[in-house]
Amino acid sequence: MTTDSTVMPVPSASPVPPVDLFAAALHVLPDGRVRAAERRMAASPDGGWQIAAFHVETDADVHADHWEMHPAADEVVCCLAGGARLYLRPTEPGTPEQLVPLPAGHAAIVPRGRWHRLALDAPSDLMSMTLREGTLLERRTEAG
């Protein structure tokens, strides 16, 4: 029996830099890679999911006067600190909005294609994850 006493050198580990999620977004690419990149309200050119965190102070920071909808995928909305309310637009005329309270440490999954909006209970740190492909915004009226 022969043994090989040659030891292959272990490549030096590449440094793993931290990513400031309040300044950039994580893009989860279809091939499984993840990269830090600019936040986008529109679809990522690489077709990936976007994970982004936001520090928000007022309802204007979460475009509370608009409904939002993601036709390509569900959206995960997380409240990391503070408190927020997620509203889902009624699917039947004349029915009320569905309220989902989001205290710190809680998340909600907004189904694909469901119109939704946020309002704040206090200044908050929020995180979202979705495919931004085809995202729509629609100004909210008093009737809904």
CATH number at 41 reads 2.60.120.10
Domain presence at residue 15: no
Q: Of 72, 58, 43, 40, which is closest to residue 118 (Cα–Cα)?
A: 58
Q: What's the confidence (pLDDT) of residue 112?
A: 97
Asked if the structure places residue 12 within a domain, the reply is no
For residue 61, the SS3 value is helix
* Domain count along the chain: 1
In a domain, 120, yes or no: yes
% of the chain beyond a pLDDT of 90: 70
Q: Is 60 within the bounds of a domain?
A: yes
The answer to the question of residue 8 being in a domain is no
pLDDT of residue 69: 96
Q: What is the pLDDT of residues 129-143, one digit of tens each?
A: 999 888 999 999 865
How far is the first Cα of the chain from the last one, in angstroms, to the nearest whole number?
Answer: 79
> How does residue 86 score in pLDDT terms, banded at 50, 70 and 90?
very high
pLDDT in tens, 97-123: 999 999 999 999 999 999 999 999 999
Range of the domain at 43: 25-139
- Tell me if 77 is assigned to some domain: yes
Q: What pLDDT band is residue 60 in, cutting at 50, 70 and 90?
A: very high
What is the pTM assigned to this prediction? 0.83
Mean pLDDT of the chain: 89
Whether residue 40 is predicted with pLDDT greater than 60 in this model: the reply is yes
In this predicted structure, the answer to whether residue 50 has a pLDDT above a threshold of 80 is: yes
Strand partners, 109: 76
- In this structure, is residue 132 part of a structural domain? yes
Give which of 34, 102, 39, 108 is closest to 74, Cα–Cα. Answer: 108
| 69 inside domain | yes
